[in-house]
Amino acid sequence: MDPDRPGLLVVGASEVVTMAGGLRRGATQGDVDLVSGEDPIVAIWDGAIAAVGPLPEVQRRLAADGHDVASFAFLDAHGGTVTPGLIDPHTHLLFAGSREGEIALRQRGASYLEILGAGGGILSTVAATRAAGEEDLLAHGRRWLAEMLRRGVTTIEAKSGYGLDLPTELRLLRVADALGREGPIEILPTFLGLHAVPPEFSAEPDGTDRFVDAVTEQMLPAVAATGHARFSDVFCEQGVFSAAQSRRFLLAGAALGLAPRLHADELAPSGGAELAAEIGALSADHLAVPSSEGIDTLSRAADGPRPVVAVLLPATTLFLMADHHAPARTLVERGIPVAIGTDFNPGTSPTPNLPLVLSLAVLTLGLSPDEALAAATINAAHALGLGETHGSLEPGKTADLVVWDVPDRRQLPYWFGADLVRAVVKRGRVAWTSEASDRGGPERSPA
Ligand code: NIG
Ligand code: FE
């Protein structure tokens, strides 16, 4: 927002996808709520949505609220579609190094868990991240956040989990918190305390249990005391952390104010979906291979007061060259709210590109373009506990939106891999434009 001009009018759109109407699930997963026809407008005042609708209606509303429209700045959508800002509800934003060598290992038949078991995978990133300083992590974070922003992402979740010792975990969460304050992308940090068992514990026969004890009893209270983390997370997976170990850690985190979410049933059915429903987690993520009982429990939870959002990560199954993808159609048919995310990380999904994931959700999961868009906006907001303030263009909500260079939102997954963003608005401010260098921000109305 221009400090002199807290008002911004987004004009010239072909359509405005509001996503009004709350959490999507079942038959409503693909309801986008559209304003089209003559002159659909989004009016923003002081960082929040003031009005959305056809021009005359918006003018009336602004006048009733005492605003002088002549004082507003303009952002011309040039016939493009306008959607809420994209929300990435699952990223491992911060780490050091890269793991391109694992592609060849997998091509030769090694599995993800075999590479991890041999001390590679997550553990090689842990070694690199422990050696990285705060400045290195800040620079890395800024680089990848810039990639996300120019693809229309306005809010992300960001996990720790590549330290697995207290100093490094605290550093990762401090950096995530600092990058969020720096903006423009808003960041919700997650303490991924149980991601893998680090070498100083794994040498012992009962090393996994001793590590779970140390993380739950010592690290968790220290992390909670900093106030930097919003959520806790665990890699609940056969051969990594059991449902019982995950339950203990997540419940201890919840008691300290960290809302639980989890990596559930990514590689094998491991009781993750069941656990998510049992403890009322905000989300169960991956669900590439949930058990039928797991789907049943999520379906029952979806009818209750605390639905668990299924956060599906189709770039990960693609990048792992898996022969299966999450059963998205079944989840939708069973009334379970579906969101999508990148899972941005150096091992299983080195892509910051959420619009590409929108395409993958259509092409590999069988979601419709509108179902996928709801998954990356309003349902992703709900997966982060932000459903009341983010994820849709409704009066009073945070003014986060994207102007796209296509006239119809159904073209977003269609032009897959193309960069289609014209402009990104975060909290009412133009945060990025495709012509930033020559345009210099929002156009001014003649005052
Ligand atoms: O979501 N599976 C656990 N965590 C990440 C991968 C982390 C890594 O391989 O570095 C995931 O797939
Ligand atoms: Fe992940």
Mean pLDDT of 326-352: 98
CATH number at residue 52: 2.30.40.10
- For residues 309 and 376, give the distance between their C-alpha atoms in angstroms, rounded to a whole number: 12
Q: Please tell me the predicted confidence (pLDDT) of residue 38.
A: 84
Q: Identify the domain boundary among 383, 411, 435.
A: 383
Assigned domain for 189 exists:
yes
- Continuous segment of H or E residues that includes residue 294: helix 292-302
Q: Quick one: which atom of ligand 1 is closest to the CA of 125? A: 10
User: For tokens 């999904």, what's the residue?
Assistant: 349
Residues 268 and 342 in one domain: yes
pLDDT over 50 (residue 439): no
- For residues 152 and 154, give the distance between their C-alpha atoms in angstroms, rounded to a whole number: 6
Q: Quick one: which atom of ligand 1 is closest to the CA of 162? A: 10
- Phi-psi sector, 343: left (phi>0), alpha (psi -120 to 50), beta: left
Q: Identify the domain boundary among 365, 383, 401.
A: 383
Residues 433 and 401 in one domain: yes
- Protein residue closest via CA to atom 12 of ligand 1: 348
Tokens coding 58? 């918006």
Residues 194 and 273 in one domain: yes
- Summarised one tens digit per residue, pLDDT across range 393-426 is 999 999 999 999 999 999 999 999 999 999 999 9
Binned at pLDDT 50, 70 and 90, residue 37 comes out as confident
Mean pLDDT of 164-183: 98
Residues 266 and 407 in one domain: no
Residues 180 and 262 in one domain: yes
pTM: 0.97
Q: Report how far ligand 2's centroid is from the alpha carbon of 192 (Å).
A: 9
pLDDT over 50 (residue 437): no
- Residue pair 123/416 in contact (Cβ under 8 Å)? The answer is no
Ligand that lies nearest to the alpha carbon of residue 90, given by its number in the listed order: 2
Residues 76 and 95 in one domain: no
Q: Quick one: which atom of ligand 1 is closest to the CA of 343? A: 1
316 Cβ below 6 A of ligand 1: yes
86-95, 262-271, 290-299, 435-444: segment of lowest average pLDDT: 435-444
- For residues 308 and 298, give the distance between their C-alpha atoms in angstroms, rounded to a whole number: 7
Residue % of the chain over a pLDDT of 70: 97
13-22, 32-41, 122-131, 275-284: segment of lowest average pLDDT: 32-41
Residue % of the chain over a pLDDT of 90: 95
Mean pLDDT of 5-33: 97
Residues 366 and 249 in one domain: yes
Mean pLDDT of the chain: 96
- Summarised one tens digit per residue, pLDDT across range 345-364 is 999 999 999 999 999 999 99
Assigned domain for 19 exists:
yes
Assigned domain for 1 exists:
no
- Summarised one tens digit per residue, pLDDT across range 252-269 is 999 999 999 999 999 999
Q: Report how far ligand 1's centroid is from the alpha carbon of 123 (Å).
A: 11
Assigned domain for 137 exists:
yes
3-class DSSP assignment, residue 433: strand
Q: Report how far ligand 1's centroid is from the alpha carbon of 122 (Å).
A: 7
| DSSP state string for 117-163 | HTT-THHHHHHHHHT--HHHHHHHHHHHHHHHHTTTEEEEEEE--S-
Q: Identify the domain boundary among 362, 383, 404.
A: 383
Q: Please tell me the predicted confidence (pLDDT) of residue 441.
A: 46
Ligand that lies nearest to the alpha carbon of residue 346, given by its number in the listed order: 1
Residues 69 and 111 in one domain: no
Assigned domain for 388 exists:
no
- Summarised one tens digit per residue, pLDDT across range 178-197 is 999 999 999 999 999 999 99
Assigned domain for 80 exists:
yes
Q: Please tell me the predicted confidence (pLDDT) of residue 444.
A: 44
Residues 16 and 48 in one domain: yes
The whole domain housing 264 covers 86-383
Assigned domain for 354 exists:
yes
- For residues 220 and 200, give the distance between their C-alpha atoms in angstroms, rounded to a whole number: 18
Residues 314 and 209 in one domain: yes
Number of domains within the chain? 2
CATH number at residue 175: 3.20.20.140
Residues 352 and 206 in one domain: yes
Residues 54 and 94 in one domain: no
Q: Please tell me the predicted confidence (pLDDT) of residue 116.
A: 94
How many C-beta atoms lie closer than 10 Å to residue 353's C-beta?
22
- Protein residue closest via CA to atom 8 of ligand 1: 347
DSSP-derived letter for residue 69 is G
297 Cβ below 6 A of ligand 1: no
Assigned domain for 357 exists:
yes
- Residue pair 42/401 in contact (Cβ under 8 Å)? The answer is yes
